Amino acid sequence: MLGTEELIRQIKALTNIGIAISGEKDINNFFKLVLDEAMRFTNADGGTIYTLSEDKQHLDFKIICTKSKKLNLGIADTAKWPSVPLYANDGRKTYKNFASYVAHSGKANTVKDAYHQNIFDNSGTKNYDKNNEYHSKSMAAIPMKDHEDQLLGVIQLINAYDDKGNITDFTEEHVTMLSSLASQSAIAYSNKKLIESLEQLLYQFIKSIAAAIDRKSKYTGDHIKRVASLSEMLSKEVNSDTQFFKDVNYSADELQEISMAGWMHDIGKITTPIYIRDKAKKLETILDRIEMIKVRFELIFALIKKDLEYTNDDKKKEKLRLLYKKLEDDKVFITKINTGEEFMKDEYLSRINEIYNFRYSSGGQKYNLISANEKENLSIRKGTLLASELKKMQEHALVSYEMLTELTYPKKLKNVSLYAASHHEKLNGKGYPFQKTAKDLPLQARIIAIADLYEALTASDRPYKDGKPLTETLKIMAFMVKDGEIDKDLFLLLLESKLYFKYAKLFLKPKQIDDVNIAAIKAMLKK
């Protein structure tokens, strides 16, 4: 029987271990804590923790320790060990291991001698002993069950020792204390699995929303997926880098935070009108109004032909022929500039204004080619969006922030809204939505910003442009580094790690993957 002092000590130890295992995040450390304490309670030489497999057909090794053999294997090593079957091929329960027997019975049990008992088929134990030059004698096994009395796993101990170093039996007191430990462990383990399941559900939900946002547009499919993938790739490169970020070492939680922010960075686009997101041409609304303008050109062409038929004035005829030719050129010009360019020349704006002011008189009526609103759209200097539409488009970053800050996150994900909403911020304070400067933009936010930029420049599914080749993309980014817009070290890491190329092989068209002169790109940063 345990003395009062020893009983108090063990109760305190149980309390402390309960607190420790409940707070332990790393599952490998969690199992190690449980097994260490179980072996310490019983002075056992060996121990194993098994967990029930997903299909509930096996017990999977999670951690193994045999002190006399200096064997101490964690999850990574035990994953290579064959699982313990709970059922035979015909579906009958199998008892080839003490742990499987306890798993089926659902009750803690002990044996004095594994080689002389009739409780379970000891072939598995004998096989282990033979392969490891060991002799298993006294054994104890305790099931771990959740709040619904469902099996989660089994704690098994081998060879308890007395104070004189002799193998002894596992006592009733041992079983009582181990059962309490198993109960605490099961609650903590069940909670961890529940939290993991909820986090997995959250992740799946976020990914489904991201997919829905991408699918909402007929042009930007998989944009969010590609940005999230590149953010994850770049953050892992930061972790392994020894040149630019040798003092940065993101934890698994921090990497998850970056990944989740990457997946959620464009969630605000759920409120962006689709006619703005998908505005492929300057004149596009519900339809591309260039077709209406072409009809007007054709009408005036017909009127000119009619006027040519009914006039005998040679000078007037020549004038009409020249006008006809000019209008044909104007029609080609208008059609061409309807597609958003990188930057429109001043002379083009003058020509648009001239076409807007043009009127053709025939039969007492005047006919025009473009309206004031069409002129405004055709005069867009860069891309296809008016200033008002661009402002509406840019609102998605602010909406992302507003939506994400409304959510309650686990503490480890508290920065998701900041990282996600900052993907259009620039280090020089000229970005949006908050015009943050370098001192306010953590590295995680800069990672997502570079990922979003690289994806946008190389994307070949945009309505207003073709995906740029690698060399042109990296030159543009080099200029942005010089202008103080994006992080120089992250850009250099993108080059040095060849991540720009790894990403290209995964997502870009072959014609975009040209031979990049990295030395020339880096030299641009020094000019």
- Among 143-147, 335-339, 340-344, the range of highest mean pLDDT: 335-339
- Provide mean pLDDT across the span 392-408: 90
Quick one: tokens of 81?
């060990």
Helix, strand or coil, per DSSP, at residue 419: helix
CA 452, 453, 458, 461: dihedral to nearest 10 degrees?
50
Partners of 167 in beta bridges: 161
- Cα–Cα distance measured from residue 485 to residue 477, given in angstroms and rounded to the nearest whole number: 9
Domain extent listing, the chain:
4-195, 217-276+388-524, 290-384
Check pLDDT > 50 for residue 509.
yes
Q: What is the CATH number of domain 217-276+388-524?
A: 1.10.3210.10
The pLDDT tens digits for 213-250 are: 777 766 666 888 999 999 999 999 999 998 999 999 99
- Cα–Cα distance measured from residue 210 to residue 214, given in angstroms and rounded to the nearest whole number: 6
> 47 near 155, Cβ under 8 Å?
yes
* Alpha carbon distances (Å) from 70 to 73, 126, 143: 10, 20, 26
- Among 149-163, 405-419, 437-451, the range of highest mean pLDDT: 437-451
Helix, strand or coil, per DSSP, at residue 227: helix
Residue 304 CB-half CA count within 13 A: 22
Q: What is the CATH number of domain 4-195?
A: 3.30.450.40
Q: How high is the pLDDT of residue 329?
A: 96
> 466 near 460, Cβ under 8 Å?
yes
Q: How high is the pLDDT of residue 1?
A: 47
Check pLDDT > 60 for residue 21.
no
- Cα–Cα distance measured from residue 45 to residue 491, given in angstroms and rounded to the nearest whole number: 54
Share above pLDDT 90 across residues of the chain, in percent, rounded to a whole number: 55
DSSP label of 281: B
H or E stretch covering 114: none
DSSP label of 49: E
- Cα–Cα distance measured from residue 64 to residue 104, given in angstroms and rounded to the nearest whole number: 21
* Alpha carbon distances (Å) from 290 to 337, 464, 482: 10, 15, 39
Q: How high is the pLDDT of residue 2?
A: 46
Output phi, psi for 102, to 5 deg.
Answer: -65, -35
Check pLDDT > 80 for residue 479.
yes
Q: How high is the pLDDT of residue 385?
A: 86
Share above pLDDT 70 across residues of the chain, in percent, rounded to a whole number: 91
- Among 27-41, 248-262, 269-283, 375-389, the range of highest mean pLDDT: 248-262
Q: How high is the pLDDT of residue 351?
A: 95
> 451 near 499, Cβ under 8 Å?
no
Q: How high is the pLDDT of residue 156?
A: 95
Q: How high is the pLDDT of residue 180?
A: 80
> 185 near 146, Cβ under 8 Å?
no
pLDDT band (50, 70, 90) for residue 523 = very high
H or E stretch covering 146: none
Check pLDDT > 90 for residue 41.
no
* Alpha carbon distances (Å) from 81 to 63, 89, 128, 446: 11, 20, 12, 43
Check pLDDT > 60 for residue 19.
no
| Residue for token pair 């867009």 | 380
Check pLDDT > 60 for residue 477.
yes
> 256 near 413, Cβ under 8 Å?
yes
- Cα–Cα distance measured from residue 410 to residue 115, given in angstroms and rounded to the nearest whole number: 50
> 156 near 140, Cβ under 8 Å?
yes
Check pLDDT > 50 for residue 33.
yes
Check pLDDT > 80 for residue 292.
yes
**To the nearest 5 percent, what fractions of the chain are helix, strand and coil?**
55, 10, 30
In this structure, is the dihedral angle defined by the CA atoms of residues 104, 107, 108 and 109, taken in order, positive or negative?
negative
pLDDT band (50, 70, 90) for residue 27 = low
Instruction: Please indicate whether residue 20 or residue 47 has the higher confidence score (pLDDT).
Output: 47
Our CA angle for 516, 521, 523, nearest 5°, is 140
Q: Residues of 36-49 as b/e, b for ≥16 C-beta within 10 angstroms?
A: ebbbebbbbbbbbb
Can you list the alpha helix ranges (DSSP code H) found in 358-485? Answer: 372-378, 387-405, 416-421, 443-458, 470-482
Quick one: tokens of 102?
């306890």
For 131-140, 179-188, 261-270, 517-526, which range has the lowest pLDDT when averaged over its residues?
Answer: 179-188
Q: What's the whole-number average pLDDT of the chain?
A: 87
Q: How high is the pLDDT of residue 331?
A: 95
Q: How high is the pLDDT of residue 4?
A: 53
Angle between helix 172-216 and helix 27-42 axes, rounded to 10 deg: 180
Quick one: tokens of 87?
């059922």
| Residue for token pair 């508290």 | 414
pLDDT band (50, 70, 90) for residue 13 = low
The pLDDT tens digits for 177-205 are: 888 888 877 777 777 776 677 677 777 77
Check pLDDT > 60 for residue 144.
yes
Q: How high is the pLDDT of residue 361?
A: 92
Check pLDDT > 90 for residue 278.
no
Check pLDDT > 90 for residue 272.
no
Check pLDDT > 70 for residue 453.
yes
DSSP label of 171: P
Rg (CA), the chain: 36
| Residue for token pair 């020894």 | 242
Check pLDDT > 90 for residue 72.
no
* Alpha carbon distances (Å) from 191 to 134, 146, 147, 412: 36, 9, 10, 17
- pTM value is 0.68
Instruction: Please indicate whether residue 187 or residue 335 has the higher confidence score (pLDDT).
Output: 335
